[in-house]
Amino acid sequence: PKDVGIRAIHFVIPSMYVDQTDLEHYDQVSKGKYTIGLGQKQMGFCTDLEDINSLCLTAVSQLVDNNNINYSDIGRLEVGTETIIDKSKSVKTVLMKLFEPSGNFHVEGIDTTNACYGGTAALFNALSWIESSAWDGRLAIVVAADIAIYEKGNARPTGGAGAVAMLIGPNASLVIERGLRGTYMNHAYDFFKPDLTSEYPVVDGKLSIQCYLNALDQCYKSYLSKCHGNINLNKFDSFVFHTPYCKLVQKSLARLYLNDYLNSNSKEMDYPGLEEYKNINLADTYFDRDIEKAFMEHSRSVFENKTKPSLLLASRVGNMYTPSVYGGLASYLCSIPLDNLPGKKIGVFSYGSGLASSMYSIKIVDNELAYMITNLKKCIDKLEKRIRVTPEKFTEVLEIRQKSLHQAPYVPVGNKKDLFPGTWYLSNIDELHRRYYERQ
């Protein structure tokens, strides 16, 4: 099959958010810590009406409704998430409820979990299926969704929530470049969720940043080793990253620039003003202020052009975990005039703590691209239709989630009227912990 990749993207964001300046005030931290220090503007969150199943139900049903396809056209459905509510039953099986009216139960694929990486693993599975002998000619759907919340403290402003559903098949507009993939996986306790009764992770913030930046270096090295010729950031029109918070992404772009600098055979000519750094060792530089500052300054215009446009959803919704990097892709696609998109090459870096990471690239082809972008813009326009709530109310909602998690029987107390029309929500949980969903 030709041009295998992403044919459509549907993004789901929560209908409520808290403003990061309000949160700075409420948390009594210094002004600018979340907004300038982390680069975040707003943070989306869900009430107890939404869980991982409902988010994925919303994403898949809206993707199908908006793209003139039928459930019988789908031969594979993959879910990537780290929001676990059942140790055995997958989200994928819940989504099969949507397929029931079509009579199509012949749908491969299941859930994949490792922190923020599951969506990318799911995407790779779907691509492999289409390129394999098992492919039956039908399309695949990849869903990535999470509810990212942290206990009170310095990680809380880096939460978020969201879902993305992507239609995968041949003749796609976002073609995944074959053979060009770099991967780095290793064992680390930077961020994990050992307490199965809690939605909150255990986080070693500093270690997680070091692991992320090291994974970025390793994936870039591995990606470049697959390319022919001299490749550096100049060969990409855009670079999108998994985005725990926007400031880390600006540092990450600077990090790729540092890699390019060290790889260059003509440092003096191509990178004037950075001579003093020519003998440094990458592994010693994760928290080196001088190097970070120098390379952030030198790469500023590259960042403004190639990466900043990808941060719209991340800055206004927060870290969505598995959908985060696809939010970067969606934001970039909607920020560029349609006519300028065909032919562009996008680098993608996906990271999940623990840790699993990959880098790959996308080539944009005009296979009904306008239709895809129009649909995507409608999703992003919902940013303006959200309800801003106070940090007090946000904290109250998180307390309700915490108290009610795994309660049975349970009827959610969140207000259905606050949801966007067409949203699936949890209507109740019975005494056997079986969950029931309805659509607003």
Q: Which is nearer to ligand ACO, 32 or 137 (CB)?
A: 32
- The string of DSSP letters for 75-133 reads EEEEEE----S-SSS-HHHHHHHHHGGGT----B--EE-BTBTHHHHHHHHHHHHHTST
Rounded to the nearest whole angstrom, what is the least distance from the CB of residue 209 to ligand ACO in the complex? Answer: 5
Rounded to the nearest whole angstrom, what is the least distance from the CB of residue 292 to ligand ACO in the complex? Answer: 7
| 276 noted as active-site residue | no
In the bound state, the residue with its beta carbon closest to ligand ACO is: 37
Report whether 15 belongs to an annotated binding site: no
Instruction: Give me the catalytic one of 242, 246, 334, 379.
Output: 242
Residue with tokens 């995944």: 176
* Structure tokens, 322: 């598995």
The residue among 93, 24, 4 whose CA lies nearest residue 53 is 93
Rounded to the nearest whole angstrom, what is the least distance from the CB of residue 27 to ligand ACO in the complex? Answer: 10
Rounded to the nearest whole angstrom, what is the least distance from the CB of residue 32 to ligand ACO in the complex? Answer: 3
Q: Which is nearer to ligand ACO, 113 or 158 (CB)?
A: 158
Name 32's Cβ contacts closer than 8 Å, sequence gap at least 6: 24
* Structure tokens, 175: 């073609």
Report whether 154 belongs to an annotated binding site: yes
Q: Which is nearer to ligand ACO, 81 or 367 (CB)?
A: 81
Instruction: Give me the catalytic one of 24, 50, 108, 116.
Output: 116
Residue 208 CB neighbours (<10 A): 23
Q: Which is nearer to ligand ACO, 224 or 254 (CB)?
A: 254
Contact 146, 323 (CB under 8 A): yes
What does residue 13 show for φ and ψ, rounded to 5 degrees? -120, 155
The residue among 345, 317, 428, 395 whose CA lies nearest residue 16 is 317
Residue with tokens 């796609």: 172
Q: Which is nearer to ligand ACO, 99 or 220 (CB)?
A: 220
Rounded to the nearest whole angstrom, what is the least distance from the CB of residue 293 to ligand ACO in the complex? Answer: 9
Report whether 208 belongs to an annotated binding site: yes
| Residues composing the chain | 440
| 406 noted as active-site residue | no
Report whether 87 belongs to an annotated binding site: no
* Structure tokens, 384: 């303006």
- Rule CB under 6 A: which residues touch ligand ACO? 30-33, 36-38, 116, 154-155, 158, 191, 203, 205, 208-209, 212, 244, 248, 319, 353
| 116 noted as active-site residue | yes
SS3 content of the chain, % helix, strand, coil (to 5): 40, 25, 35
Binding-site annotation, residues for CoA: 154, 208, 247, 251
Binding-site annotation, residues: 154, 208, 247, 251
The residues that are catalytic are 82, 116, 242
